[in-house]
Amino acid sequence: MTGTNGPPDVDLDRVWTGVAAQVWLRRPGRIERLAARLLRSPGLARALVVTPSLLIGWVIATAVVLLAGMAATLGTHTPYVALFDPAVAAAGIAYAYGPGIDRAWELSQSMAVSDRMVLLARALAVFGLNAVFGLLASAASGAAVAVTFGWLVPMTAVCALALAAATLARSANVGVAAGMSGWVIIVLAGKAIAGQVTAAVASPSLVAPYLVFTACCGALVLYTTRIPRGAA
């Protein structure tokens, strides 16, 4: 790197590398450091922190949607939060995935911290974040307790659907579309059959089918991400 040389036994390139290492150093934030310790993997923590649907822009958008839902609920007594959150979470989770959103996906597939681990960590983080926001908004909007918590199970099912669709089709957009449309269909079907919009989130009899569906989608996701798929 240096033009003129110093003393023959002094490695100036090595000295510069030492300086550069400190000057170019990136110091992980508090959340990343905590995640690294909890997950016992600095790589996985970093991957989590750069997830598109966990970046500040997306998080703010989610909060805004739920606040709107909360306001709507307070006004009309229809639990919009319970209806919005699953859709938002499904979109967020689908956007945590693969070739649709990760431009360096081929390279990510050759990493020691496997893309599947990254996907699962991201999906859990997005789900968790949406669940917390949703619970707060739901509780603050005074909805009935059953509805406040009742939508967590359907949310899980819809997220699993979105993720399964995304991994099968290898496209985040397909996942979002599947999740959203799936949820809309369920809600409308609930309204048609039981007469109220909240049927999809408030009926205890649906819990078992939701969970079975979630398990199937989950298995599908594990299957499609375990075997690295060949290129078309």
Partner 1 sequence: MDDDELITAIAAGDDTALRELFSRHAPWLAIRLRSLLPATDTEDVLQETFLAVWQGASGYRPGSAGGWLWGIARRQAALFLRRRGPATLELPGLLAINDSDGDPAEAALSGVVMARAAAALGPDGSPEREVWRLVYVEDRPVAEAAELLGVPVGTVKSRAHRVRRLLRVALRMGTATEGGAS
Partner 2 sequence: MNVELEELVRRFGHTQAVAGVSLRAGPGVFGLLGPNGAGKTSLLRMMATVLPPTSGRLELLSRDPGNHAERREIRRRLGYLPQNLGYYPGFTVVDFIEYFALLKDMPPRQVPRAVATAVERVGLGDKARSKLKTLSGGMLRRVGIAQAIVNDPELLLLDEPTAGLDPEQRVAFRTLLREIGECGTVVVSTHLVEDVGAACTEVALMDRGRIVFHGTPHQLTARGEGTGAAGDAPLERGYSAVLAAARS
Q: Is 191 in the site for partner 2 (CB under 8 A)?
A: no
Identified binder of partner 2 from the candidate list 16, 31, 142, 219, rule CB under 8 A: 16
Using CB under 8 A as the binding rule, whether residue 15 contacts partner 2 is answered as no
Stretch that binds partner 2, among 59-67, 148-156, 214-222, 224-232 (CB under 8 A): 224-232
Contact with partner 2 (CB under 8 A): which of 1, 56, 145, 192? 1
Read off φ and ψ for residue 45, nearest 5 degrees: -60, -45
Distances (CA, A) of 112 to 37, 107, 125, 126, 198: 18, 11, 21, 23, 44
| Closest distance of CB 27 from partner 1, Å | 15
Using CB under 8 A, which of the segments 35-43, 83-91, 155-163, 207-215 binds partner 2? 35-43
Select from 3, 7, 56, 112 the one that contacts partner 2 (CB under 8 A).
112
Instruction: Please identify which residue in 20, 111, 185, 189 interacts with partner 1, judged by CB under 8 A.
Output: 20
For partner 1, the binding residues in 89-108 under the rule CB under 8 A are none
Contacts with partner 2 in 84-103 (CB under 8 A)? 102-103
C-alpha span between 132 and 224 (Å, rounded): 29
Interaction mask 122-151, partner 1, x per CB under 8 A: ------------------------------
Q: Is 218 among the residues that bind partner 2 (CB under 8 A)?
A: no
Q: Which residues, 6+ apart, have CB-to-CB distance to 29 below 8 Å?
A: 49
Contact residues: partner 2, CB under 8 A? 1, 13, 16-18, 20-22, 24-26, 36, 41-43, 46-47, 50, 102-114, 227-228, 230-232
For binding to partner 1 (CB under 8 A), which residues are involved? Answer: 1-7, 9-12, 14-16, 18-20, 22-24
